């Protein structure tokens, strides 16, 4: 379809807008926490800046909870962090420790009730939980808690965690956390605020990222290292799979709640979700993307005059492809960044007109040329199809699609919004058939081995400063974890933990 015709057809436009919105996997959430040792300081303003830096992980709602004098106050709302947290609202959040959350709904509907952090106030204290991930046994745990008389205010699986911790709290924080964490299954990166501590925890496979940073007089927990950089902190290290870190005024305590850990961080973090200036589990995201482009060039080079990336996440791989094949790299496509939210709000009626202004072609760059178009992934294919059409209508002689992730053929069960398997365009379709259906002259994906190679070859040393107690005694040693490995479930159908309905039909 020539996209220019769609502007006059509101029904088609609405449909296309929706499918474009759903044409990428979407990260579910980002978490951020700050703990200052000085009780006179306020953590919420820093958490706000952290959330702004994690906004790419969720644009539907945002929230911050802060604790002062053993009282947790929480403010949350629908929309972007910058819209919700006016100076007036931020000034209501007092206290030296705070956690924040940005959300894109997958589990639970898009309502303020499901916005995080979730706060529970009970006889022994109060806690606030910010969760990134999805519990695979949330229904079972919710039923057990409801049978025990515990009420829920939302449909979110994250509320299960807060209620479970609250239920176990009489055993003490450490025991409550370990009991809770042993009970829940699935993916979780948690930032938990109690009356006097900030706690981080990562599931035994480390599917969703979480890292630790240091500030002058304080500590940070963040989904991505880019947010630590943004608040002037120093990246310390990733929270290990199966690790809990408790930060309070006396100490920073780290312990492992699970002996059986097999690291399986989501490979899609490196392909698309994470910001390129982040480092996750010692792998530099930008470097991995460039390397994936180089490998793609080695695996499936084509004669061409220009290589361009689908902005923004296709750009590093296009640079890599250009380096590996000697194809000149150019810009080619411009993305309007200021309408991003229009595309990601899951359920609103204001998106109709935005689709046609999301991408445009620099005609002088592509006219008369054989173009290689690099995309990070193909989910439904609608974006690629449209880009091929506008490149050709701008005068490109040939358009060859190269994709720096393997075909997405299976759904994700670990906190990522995915369409039904039948709607994944690579499911049951060969690359050449798919290329034809998208109007391209050829199409090739990176192999699974190639993707893994891109992640194994750009190891980042990190700053593995050990954490210790405040007295400067021997620090808690950091175990050398098991070898780096990845979740590749949506590419291979093999998941790091059992899921129900693995075929995803
Ligand atoms: S299935 Fe695994 S690799 Fe794919 S998006 Fe989910 S967590 Fe990431």
Q: Cα(207) to centroid of ligand 1, in Å?
A: 8
Answer for the pair 417, 344: CB distance below 8 angstroms, yes or no.
no
Answer for the pair 355, 331: CB distance below 8 angstroms, yes or no.
no
Q: Is 29 a catalytic residue?
A: yes
115 touches 103 (CB < 8 A): yes
pLDDT of 43: 98
Query: How remote is the CA of residue 267 from the centroid of ligand 1, in Å?
Result: 6
Q: Could you give the CA distance from residue 487 to residue 426 in angstroms, rounded to a whole number?
A: 19
Neighbouring residues of 175: CB distance < 8 A, sequence distance ≥ 6: 168
Residues 215 and 195: their CA atoms lie apart, in Å, by: 21
Return the closest-CA partner of residue 190 out of 182, 96, 181: 181
Point out which residues pair with 218 in neighbouring strands: 36, 215
State the distance from the centre of ligand 1 to the C-alpha of 235, rounded, in angstroms.
Answer: 25
Number of Cβ within a 10 Å radius of residue 292: 28
186 CA to middle of ligand 1, Å? Answer: 12
Closest of 279, 157, 165, 286 to residue 222, by C-alpha: 279
The token pair that represents 498 in the structure block? 């059992």
A 10 A CB-CB count for 460 gives 16
Question: Is there an atom of ligand 1 within 6 Å of 487 CB?
Answer: yes
- Supply the pTM of this predicted model: 0.87
What is the position in ligand 1's atom list of the atom closest to the CA of 266?
8
Pick from 388, 401, 411, 415: nearest CA to 443: 401
Tally helices (H) and strands (E) across the chain: 19, 25
Q: Please measure the distance between the N-terminal and C-terminal CA atoms of the chain and give it in whole angstroms.
A: 29
Q: Is the CB of 412 under 6 A from ligand 1?
A: yes
Q: Is the CB of 212 within 6 Å of ligand 1?
A: no
Instruction: Find out if CATH 3.40.50.2020 is the number for domain 283-454.
Output: yes
20: helix, coil or strand?
Answer: helix
Instruction: Let me know if 43 is exposed, middle or buried by CB neighbors in 10 A (0-12, 13-18, 19+).
Output: buried
Beta partners for residue 254, in sequence order: 245
User: Which residue puts its alpha carbon closest to atom 4 of ligand 1?
Assistant: 490
Report how far residue 77's alpha carbon sits from residue 356's, in angstroms, rounded to the nearest whole number. Answer: 29
Question: Token pair for residue 448?
Answer: 């699974």
Query: Ligand 1 centroid vs 141 CA: distance in angstroms?
Result: 23
Atom of ligand 1 nearest to the CA of 267: 3
- 71-78 and 61-68 as β-strands: parallel, antiparallel, unpaired? antiparallel
CB-ligand 1 contact for 408 (6 Å cutoff): no
pLDDT at position 354? 47
User: Does 414 contact ligand 1 (Cβ within 6 A)?
Assistant: yes
Q: What order do you get walking across the sheet with 29-36 strand by strand?
A: 71-78, 61-68, 97-103, 29-36, 218-222, 211-215, 234-238
CB 300 within 8 A of CB 444: yes
Query: Residues in the chain, how many?
Result: 505
C-beta 267 within 6 A of ligand 1:
yes
SS3 366: helix
Q: How many CB atoms lie within 10 A of CB 22?
A: 19
Q: What is the pLDDT along the chain (505 residues), one digit of tens a residue?
A: 333 322 233 333 333 434 444 566 766 799 999 999 999 999 999 999 999 999 999 988 999 999 999 999 999 999 999 999 999 999 999 999 999 999 986 555 667 888 999 999 888 889 999 999 999 999 999 999 999 889 898 888 889 999 999 888 888 888 898 889 889 999 999 999 999 999 999 999 999 999 999 999 999 999 999 999 999 999 999 999 999 999 999 999 999 887 777 889 999 999 999 999 999 999 999 999 999 999 999 999 999 999 999 998 899 999 999 999 999 999 999 988 776 544 444 443 443 344 467 889 999 999 999 999 999 999 888 888 989 999 999 999 999 999 999 999 999 988 787 777 878 888 889 999 999 999 999 999 999 999 999 998 544 443 333 333 333 332 232 223 335 689 999 999 999 988 875 443 3
Collect all residues with Cβ–Cβ distance below 8 Å to 63 and sequence separation of at least 6: 74, 75, 76, 77, 84, 100, 101, 115, 116, 117, 130
Residue whose CB lies within 8 A of the most ligand 1 atoms, among 135, 136, 407, 414, for a mutation test = 414
Enumerate residues 6+ apart whose C-beta is below 8 A from 454: 270, 288, 289, 291, 292, 294, 295, 404, 446
Within 10 A of 501 (CB to CB), how many other CB atoms are there?
A: 9
Residue 129 and residue 120: Cα distance in Å, rounded?
9
Q: Are 439 and 392 in contact (CB under 8 A)?
A: yes
Atom of ligand 1 nearest to the CA of 207: 7
What residue segments make up the domains of the chain, in order of their start? 24-261, 283-454
C-beta separation of 206 from 36 below 8 A: no
Model pLDDT, residue 77: 95
Q: 24-261: which CATH architecture?
A: 4-Layer Sandwich (3.60)
Output the pLDDT for position 484. 64
């Amino acid at each position: 379809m020539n996209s220019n015709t769609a502007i006059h057809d509101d029904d088609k436009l609405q449909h296309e807008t929706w499918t474009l919105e759903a044409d990428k996997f979407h990260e579910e959430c980002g978490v951020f926490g700050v703990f200052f040792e000085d009780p006179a300081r306020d953590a919420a303003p820093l958490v706000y800046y952290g959330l702004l830096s994690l906004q790419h992980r969720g644009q539907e709602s945002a929230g911050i909870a802060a604790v002062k004098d053993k009282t947790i106050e929480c403010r949350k709302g629908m929309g972007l962090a910058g819209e919700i947290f006016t100076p007036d609202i931020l000034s209501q959040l007092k206290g030296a420790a705070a956690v924040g959350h940005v959300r894109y709904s997958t589990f639970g509907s898009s309502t303020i009730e499901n916005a995080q952090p979730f706060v529970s106030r009970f006889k022994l204290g109060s806690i606030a939980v910010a969760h990134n991930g999805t519990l695979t046994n949330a229904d079972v745990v919710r039923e057990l808690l409801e049978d025990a008389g515990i009420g829920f205010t939302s449909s979110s699986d994250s509320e299960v965690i807060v209620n479970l911790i609250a239920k176990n709290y009489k055993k003490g924080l450490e025991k409550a956390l370990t009991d809770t964490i042993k009970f829940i299954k699935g993916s979780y990166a948690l930032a938990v605020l109690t009356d006097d501590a900030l706690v981080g925890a990562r599931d035994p496979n480390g599917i969703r990222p979480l890292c630790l940073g240091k500030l002058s007089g304080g500590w940070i927990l963040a989904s991505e290292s880019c947010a630590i950089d943004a608040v002037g902190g120093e990246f310390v290290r990733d929270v290990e799979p199966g690790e809990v870190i408790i930060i309070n005024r006396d100490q920073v305590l780290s312990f492992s709640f699970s002996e059986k850990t097999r690291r399986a961080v989501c490979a899609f973090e490196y392909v698309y979700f994470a910001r390129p200036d982040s480092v996750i589990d010692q792998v530099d995201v930008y470097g991995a993307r460039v390397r994936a482009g180089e490998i793609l060039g080695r695996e499936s080079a084509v004669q061409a005059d220009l290589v361009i990336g689908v902005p923004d996440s296709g750009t590093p791989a296009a640079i890599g492809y250009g380096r590996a094949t000697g194809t000149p790299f150019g810009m080619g496509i411009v993305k309007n960044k200021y309408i991003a939210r229009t595309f990601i709000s899951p359920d609103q009626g204001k998106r109709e007109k935005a689709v046609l202004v999301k991408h445009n072609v620099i005609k002088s760059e592509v006219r008369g040329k054989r173009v290689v178009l690099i995309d990070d992934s193909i989910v439904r294919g609608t974006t690629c199809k449209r880009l091929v059409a506008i490149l050709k209508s701008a005068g490109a002689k040939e358009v060859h699609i190269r994709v720096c992730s393997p075909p997405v053929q299976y759904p994700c069960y670990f906190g990522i919004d995915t369409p039904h398997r039948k709607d994944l365009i690579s499911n049951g379709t060969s690359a050449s058939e798919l290329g034809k259906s998208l109007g391209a002259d050829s199409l090739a994906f990176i192999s699974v081995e190639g993707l893994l190679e891109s992640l194994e070859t750009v190891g980042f040393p990190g700053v593995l400063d050990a954490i210790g107690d405040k007295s400067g005694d021997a620090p808690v040693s950091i175990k050398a974890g098991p070898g780096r490995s990845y979740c590749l479930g949506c590419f291979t159908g093999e998941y790091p933990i059992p899921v129900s309905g693995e075929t995803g039909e």
